[in-house]
Amino acid sequence: MASLDKIMSIWKCADAITFDVDSTVTTEEGIDELAKFCGKGEQIAELTKRAMQGDMTFQQSLSVRLQIINPSLAQIKEFLNTHKAKLTDGIKELVSALRSHGKQVFLVSGGFHSLIMPIAAQLNIPPENIYANKLKFYFTGEYAGFDESQPTSKSGGKAEVIRHLKEKEGFKIVVHIGDGATDLEASPPADAFIGFGGNVIRENVKLCSQWYVTNFNDLTKSL
């Protein structure tokens, strides 16, 4: 494992930073909040926990959770109108600092594009810098599944997105930041992984992280 000094050096010279969203950029898990809104909260929270710990494949977990929630398009719209995701302390300042250092910022999430758009807007991150899952609906507005062609719909998807950013977008050095098992999988191809435990500490992620922080201010100061 690379030394902390090496990881900090990579952090300073990276040209792109990719963030997980749920329990990293925000203090909550978006799918859990949607489940609560739809009256399925308790059933979903346990499945989310198992998925985050790597106890089942991400695609299995996502499919099962969405079948239970069964969200309609009207419910998604109402949820977005009544629920504002809470940003993690220090994330706005960190994103601003990264930009001032000339770094591009991306959100790479196993969550849903429609729920992440307002979060990206709060951080002034353009929609094209979001890589996330997309819900599908029938013309009646009923839930019709999710787009399984999106890389983030399956285990290893975040690594696939980062590979794309390096090969197709030309980024030389990419650092990924996140709190869960699917984030650990992203490095490599990410040149470094920084584990984040400011909202939830997952022991397996903490143990395997090259650099582990619980406060975004530590990363801002390290630039």
CA distance 108 to 44: 21
Residue 127 DSSP class: G
* Residue 121: partners with Cβ closer than 8 Å, 6 or more residues away: none
Catalytic residue among 15, 22, 179, 218: 22
Catalytic residue among 15, 20, 32, 179: 20
Pairing of β 174-178 and β 143-146? unpaired
Pairing of β 211-213 and β 192-196? parallel
Q: What are phi and psi of 15, to 5 degrees?
A: -100, -10
| Closest C-alpha among 172, 167, 163 to residue 131 | 163
User: Is 15 marked active-site?
Assistant: no
* CA-to-CA separations, 132 to 6, 22, 64, 142, 186, in angstroms, rounded: 30, 11, 18, 21, 14
User: Is 147 marked active-site?
Assistant: no
Residue 40 DSSP class: -
Q: Which active-site residues does the annotation give?
A: 20, 22
